[in-house]
Structure 1
Amino acid sequence: MPIDVDEVQRREAIAQATLAIAARDGARAVTIRAVAKELGGSTAMVTNYVPTRTALITNAVRAAESRWRTDLEAHLGDLTGADRLRATVEWHLSTEPEDLLLRTLWVEMLSTAHIDPAGVDHEEPRESRQEFLEASLAAGVPDAALAADILSLLTRGYYVSTMEEPAHWTPERAGRVARAVVDALMAETPARHG
């Protein structure tokens, strides 16, 4: 008789094992075989849920994303208008250790996009742009769609920059850039406070 396994729980266990390996040994060490070993089972217990290395990494990134949404909402609280827009951008520019780890996995995931496009997470960047769009609209930014695109490029570029020059891109420096960009976007906004 086959063992009844909860798919959501198994995918979460696979994600946690993937993150543990990446934190301990680096993103390059993440393989299906390594994750199976971390879980104490065969590769089939992994490949039944995530068939490729890219899917394995994407699974870990997506597991973190579900926590990000809750964290973002808690960070924003009752903020409105320009304050909410600034806080949204600053949240995306965090440098918590888990964020840095996930960025290394994100780059690994993207590096295989040309050979495994279905394995790459396309939902999260769309959700982030939507968050920027909604915050820009609520702040009264004149061209909210352009602002969402600019902020998306800013944050994605920041992710790469924190891996290239982690000592240079301190939270203070990133926050200063974020405030300058948001202030520039707000410059054409009719005099409103919020």
Structure 2
Amino acid sequence: MPIDVDEAARVSEIARATIRVAGQRGSRGVTLRSVADQLGRSTAFITNFVPSRAQLIVNALEYAQEEWKADRQGRLSGAIGAERLAGLARWMCSTSEDDGILRSLWVEAIADIRASTMAYDVIRSVTDDTYVEFLRASRESGLAEAEQIADTLYLFCRGFHIKSVEDPEGWTDARANSALEHLLKVLVFQGATRAEQPPAHE
């Protein structure tokens, strides 16, 4: 009688192991063998579910995508308008235990797009979805030049992600958030205050 295999559970298990290996050895340390060793399995077990190294990175990023979506929704629950927009930017400029690891995998996938268009497609899906959230929150805030404000905040946060991989000691959450709060004050909160004020009578 065949043994039932929960493929989704196996794929998630491999994703978590991939993230652990990247945390221990860096993104370049992620291989089929290293992930198999992390799980105490054979490489044949891994390739039965995830057939290549590029797919390991795709799988880890897809797993993280679902985690990020759930966390973002929880953090922004109930927030509207300018507060939602600011909360989204603050969430993007925070770093959880695995975020630095996942950003390094993200940067590697971007740099090596020819080796894995699938990884790049996952990255585009994640980043495009996040940008849509910025644009929606900016428009709902009633701010003038909402599209440009969404662009600016989004690019700031993405730039921080790159710098946090390149120079994690120099570009800490504290440094990024200090700059972000200044940006929010100028672009969002001052603009929201002006939008709420009635027009001056002549």
* TM-score (normalised: structure 1): 0.88
1:66-77 counterparts in 2 under 5 A?
A: 66-77=66-77
CA distance 1:131–1:98, shift in 2 (3 Å): same
**Structure-2 residue corresponding to 1:97:** 97
2:178 matched to 1:183? no
1:81-160 counterparts in 2 under 5 A?
A: 81-120=81-120, 121=122, 122-160=124-162
Preserved CA contact (<8 Å) 2:31 2:53: yes
Length, aligned pairs only: 193
- AA paired with 1:159? H
Q: State the secondary structure of the residue aligned to 1:131.
A: helix
User: What's the CA shift for 1:2?
Assistant: 5.2
Q: Which moved more, 1:150-159 or 1:43-52?
A: 43-52
- AA paired with 2:160? Y
CA distance 1:2–1:162, shift in 2 (3 Å): same
Q: Which moved more, 1:10-19 or 1:101-110?
A: 101-110
What's the % identity of the aligned pairs?
38
Preserved CA contact (<8 Å) 1:86 1:178: no
Instruction: Tell me the distance in 1 between the aligned counterparts of 2:89 and 2:23.
Output: 26
User: What's the CA shift for 1:105?
Assistant: 1.5
* TM-score (normalised: structure 2): 0.84
The structure with the larger Rg is: 2
Aligned CA RMSD, in angstroms, stands at: 2.1
Preserved CA contact (<8 Å) 1:76 1:84: yes
Q: State the secondary structure of the residue aligned to 1:63.
A: helix
Q: State the secondary structure of the residue aligned to 1:191.
A: helix
Preserved CA contact (<8 Å) 1:113 1:119: yes
**Structure-2 residue corresponding to 1:44:** 44
**Structure-2 residue corresponding to 1:163:** 165
The CA deviation string for residues 59-105 of structure 1, in whole angstroms up to 9 with x for no partner, is: 11221221112211222232221111111101001123311111112
- AA paired with 2:49? Y
Instruction: Tell me the distance in 2 between the aligned counterparts of 1:182 and 1:150.
Output: 10
Q: What are structure 1's unaligned runs of at least 5 residues? A: none
User: What's the CA shift for 1:3?
Assistant: 4.0
Instruction: Tell me the distance in 2 between the aligned counterparts of 1:192 and 1:55.
Output: 49
Q: What are structure 2's unaligned runs of at least 5 residues? A: 198-202
2:183 matched to 1:192? no
